[in-house]
Each structure stands twice: as structure tokens, then as C-alpha cells.
Structure 1
């Protein structure tokens, strides 16, 4: 058809003139697939379950590397790099990767996510997060989190397991109490009355239908087993705290028992990082929230920005000491 334009004509018009080349977008992956090892001084690593995003920068802060890695590729990737500064968010699996990369000779620093967020430019994605981490780790005013050892994380697992089993025990106790209340039988609350609750169910004179008694016996069996497991964990906590010098000093403080002492030992990697007890309290979120401006101090409730488990245990212990002191005075 006269005057029609074909796709071949369009391609001919878009082609470059003879002897010239079209400019190409610079690639972050160097030719030959080899890493620019001489240029990279800082790396931001965004950790994921399956894929990890890497952002590398040179001494001037310019991006020289950006790529995704699988978990099984990360160790070989960093082993091929010279020692450099590596930043990661202090999140799940960060302490494990911190130990792994530190063993390869890198300077690894874990950054709280709240310090990384201001450096995220525009939209949030893995690449932007890695770039923000790479930028934040070079800032002098950004605080870092000490890398926990494997033993500290193991103690944390024990403490979390104790919490889980204790919650499950309370759930079973409340379930049994609720079922007994349906038949007009009231039982006291709390794990300290667990033996009394078990005796009420086992007593054949208790007015409970046979079908309900069979179901309650299943709950009682689980309750007894959970009680043994919780007691076993608490005995191990007490034994380890007495053997640890810091744990023994913590046990000497009124209101602190083996559970609280174990939580502090597992949740605070380096107690020497706090200049005073006030700094430790601020780290736990036990200081007032501030909204001050124009020379006026506006203080609110506590910030609750730290470890909630340690904070809860310390507050519970302090209230127990206060009640004991008031009862002694009265």
C-alpha cells in the first residue's frame, strides 16, 4: 500500500549512523563477572529468607556493585572480597551472618532498623534497603548492636522456650478452670494452685459427667507434663546463673531471680556498653517519652523501645519488692 510505514522502515530510521555507537547504560556488574574488589570499601546487606540484596560502595560513597545473592552464594561472595565494612539491620538471622562474615575478616556492624529508615530513598524495596544500610553504616552518629555469640543465642532460645511453655501452661489451667465452672466448681487461678486443680479433677466425688471427666483428664495430663518441663528449664537457668559471675551478681539484687537474670544475660550482649544504670534503663524503654519543643518539656509515658521481656520481668520484680516492703512495714 502506497504511503504505508512498515516495521522494517521504523527499525531503519532508529538505527545509528554508520561508524557511530549508541551510548549504553553503565552496568553495576563488571565485565567478565568478576567483582571490583579494589574499589569496594562498604557493603550494605539486606537479609531475606531466600534472597539477600548486596549494595557496594567505594571510598567516596559511589555505588560500584548491586546484585542479589542466594543464601548458599553469600559466603563465597564475601570470601572473594578484601576486608571491608559490612552493615546489616539487626533482625532475624543477622547475628548468625554477622559471625560468619566476621570470621572472613570483615568489619560487621548491626544497625537497628529505626536508624536505617531515614536513609531509604523514595520507594521501599530490597535494593533501596541495601543502599540505605550502606549509607547508614558510614554515619558516625548511628549506633550499632553488638553481635551475639552462639552461646548467648542458645541462652535466648532457652528463655523463649520457657516463656512459650509457661504461656501454654496458663492456657491449659484457664481452660480446665473454665470447664469446671460450667459444672459449678470454682478453682483458684494461677500455676501455684495447679496441684489443687489436678486433685479436684481426679477426685471421683467431684460432680463431673464421665464424658467431661475424660476430656479434662487429657488436659490434666498435658498440664502435668508442661509443669515438669517448666521446672526443668527453671532449674537449668538457676544452675547456669550461679555458675556465671555476672549471673551470681544479678541474683543478689532484690527482685531478680533466675528467670530475670537469665533473660538479662541472654538479651544484653555487652553490659559494658552502658555508661550507667540510667543508660541501661533508657535502652529498656523505661524513660518518659519526650515531645519537647520551644524550651517546654513535655514528658509522656515510658517509651517501651527496648526488650519487652526484660522490661516486663524487671517491672514485675520491682513491684514484688515494693509489695514485700509494704507488707513488712505494716
Structure 2
């Protein structure tokens, strides 16, 4: 155990595969360990030993536990590990995956994922449950509409109209809905109200997060970034200084154009859509609202977005504003300043002291 310098770990529910090597890269052990014995085995590793694992469900928990033992625990995105599996796609198993993680961790250019704190993961649980409740609410409404359609009752496709008229439809004796179907619709209506109450509870927790966290308050000041988006970004990212620049943060969110360039010819396509889909969706949805209402505002961001909309179209203006908001968020968080809508950015050459 004293010769081990790097360990690759493939996490699972019950059995954890480890691949340990020494300073020369020679394999010391490649074995499967029961989940309950994993920390006991890691406790015998030398202090500061690098233990790498894929960023997946439960990985942040294990990373925190290993760091408490004095180990250098790190998380690697799963798509960065795949190229280091020597057996390719046809040779995927736990042992090969652990070896690939161990090899990927040795690369000097590897990008690691900072482990999330308990507070971050706790807030993200609220967002995940809220998203699931939204899907369940949408399914519940469609279920009610389908049941009403079976008896010739068709209502406009609006949640507000369905909410207002559903009780009257159930109590209306002139329609052809039988008694059993009315009971079913009543239970479905109660289920809908229960889902709404759960979503409201999640919104209250998010509002409380904004009141308690200064970062969320500063993020929510941007055009197109509300309390929901601000809370999700702060809880997901944590330390914004892990990104070198605002453009890198925007690229991490998948808001930059993908390239297919060769021979000195640059070819740009749509956005890459990499990274966190939830955050990217929130930023784009917020940017849509900001572009729609921008004609009523005279601040520089709204004026810029409206001009871009006229030149390039609606969709490009929305994505460009979402990318701009991501860059502004990085600047606001790393410099620990409030958002200034009239701030004028200077090029790096002009910002340096003594520049001409």
C-alpha cells in the first residue's frame, strides 16, 4: 500500500472496482471491493495519494469522505474518461473503466470537477424535485384532458382555463360524464392541487435561498436571470473562480458555437449544448423573456439585444443574451461586485496600468 501513488475508482451501488498504480505506472492491484469496506481500504493509502473517480451519482459524497481521510480525491467527467479505455467501446467493464479513470487522472491537462458541498447538494435536491413535479403536473393535466375528451368535453389548451372550469364540468349534470368518471376526475383534480402545493413549497425554499445567500441576490439582478436561475447556478457552480474567464464559463454551459474547422478555414455551427442542460435551459428561457420585454427598457443590455434581434433574428439574439449573461455572472461573482447595467468593459490592453 505504501507504494501506491494513484488510484482509479469505478463506483457502483454494491461493489467498487479499484485500479492502483505506483509512481512508475506499474499496476499494484486491480480488484473489486465491497462498498462497506471501501473507506477502510482507502484509510491505508499514503497521505496525499491521488484517488480519482468519474463524476456520477454519489461521487461527490465519496470525494468528501476521501478528503476527510487526507487523500487527494478528484472527480473526472465521464466523457473525458472514455478515450483512455484501451479496449474501446467493446471492452467496457468495471475493471477497464477503473483503469481508464486511473490513466485519465495522470494527464496534466485533465479538467477535474470540484466536489460540491452538502449545502450545494441540498439546494440542488430542491431544484431536481421541482423539475420532476413540473413534469408530473404536465402529465396530470394531459391525463385530465384525455379523460374529458372521451366524453366529448374539450377545453382550451390553457392550464388556467382548465383549473377554472374543471370543477364546473365535474358538477355539470347535463354532460355525458358517468358517475364513476366524475369520481376519477375529482381524484385527479386533488392530485393536481397536491402537486401544485409541492411546487409552491419548492419555490419557497428557493426564495429563502435568495434571501440568505448574497451570491444569489447579486445573480438575480441581471436581465433574464430570476431567483430560480440564480439559485440553480450558485448551487451548481459554487466557486466561479474555477473558470479562467467568462468565455470559458459560457463554453462550459454549452452556449458557444461548435466548430468544424480545418486547413485554416473556420466553420461555426449551432451551440455545442455541452455541460449542464438545466442551467443552459434556464438561461435561455430567461433570455427569451428579456428579449421580449427589451423594447420597453432603455438600458444598454436591452438596447443591444433589440439591435441584435433586428440584425440576426430572434433565436440568435436569445442565445447571445444567454451567453452574455453567463459571462456577466462570472465577472460579478469572481470580482464580488454588484451588477451595473451601465458598466462599460475595457479591452485587456486598455485595462492594464501604463497602457497607451
Whether TM exceeds 0.5 here: the answer is yes
CA gap of 1:198–1:253, structure 2 versus 1, over 3 A, is farther
Equivalent in the alignment of 2:328: none
- Which residue of 1 is the match for residue 50 of structure 2? 85
Specify the alignment match of 1:67 in structure 2: 31
The CA deviation at 1:208 is: 4.7
Structure 1, gaps ≥5 residues long: 1-36
Alignment partner, residue 12 of structure 1: none
Alignment of 1:1-330 (within 5 A): 37-83=1-47, 84-122=49-87, 123-193=91-161, 195-204=163-172, 207-209=175-177, 210-326=179-295
Looking at structure 2, the residues matched to 206 and 166 of structure 1 have their Cα atoms a distance apart, in angstroms, of 33
Match of 1:29 in 2: none
Map Cα deviations across residues 241-300 of structure 1 (whole Å, 9 max, x no partner): 121011111221222222222221222132121233322211011111111111111222
Whichever structure has more helix as a proportion of its residues is 2
Q: TM-score, normalised by structure 1?
A: 0.83
Distance 2:130 2:168 in 1: 27
- Aligned residues of 2:3 and 2:22 also touching (Cα < 8 A): yes
Contact 1:200 1:206 in 2 (8 A): no
Q: Give the C-alpha shift of residue 230 in structure 1.
A: 0.7
**Gaps (5+ residues) in structure 2?**
299-305, 307-356
Whether the 8 Å contact between 2:126 and 2:205 is mirrored in structure 1 is no
What is the Cα-based RMSD across aligned positions, in Å? Answer: 2.0
Compute the displacement of 1:327 (Å). Answer: 6.7
Q: Structure 1 residue 196: deviation in Å?
A: 1.3
1:170–1:202 distance in 2 versus 1, CA, 3 Å: same
Residue 120 of structure 1: how far off its partner (Å): 0.8
Provide the TM-score with structure 2 as the length reference.
Answer: 0.78
Find the structure with the greater CA-based Rg: 1
Compared with structure 1, are the counterparts of its residues 75 and 180 closer, same or farther at alpha carbon in structure 2 (3 Å cutoff)? same
Q: Distance in 2 between matches of 1:174 and 1:87?
A: 45
- Contact 1:90-1:110 at 8 Å conserved across structures: yes
Between the aligned partners of 2:259 and 2:140, the Cα distance in structure 1 is 41
- For residues 66 and 179 of structure 1, the distance between their equivalents in structure 2, rounded to whole angstroms, comes to 57
Once residues 64 and 150 of structure 2 are traced to their aligned partners in structure 1, the CA distance between those partners, rounded to angstroms, is 55
The answer as to whether partners of 1:234 and 1:258 remain within 8 angstroms in 2 is no
Q: For each residue in 1:73-121, what CA deviation from the matched residue of structure 2 results, as whole angstroms up to 9, or x when unmatched?
A: 1011011121201111111111111011110000011011122112111
- How many positions carry a matched residue from both structures? 294
Residues 43 and 129 (structure 1), Cα distance of their counterparts in 2 relative to 1, 3 Å cut: same
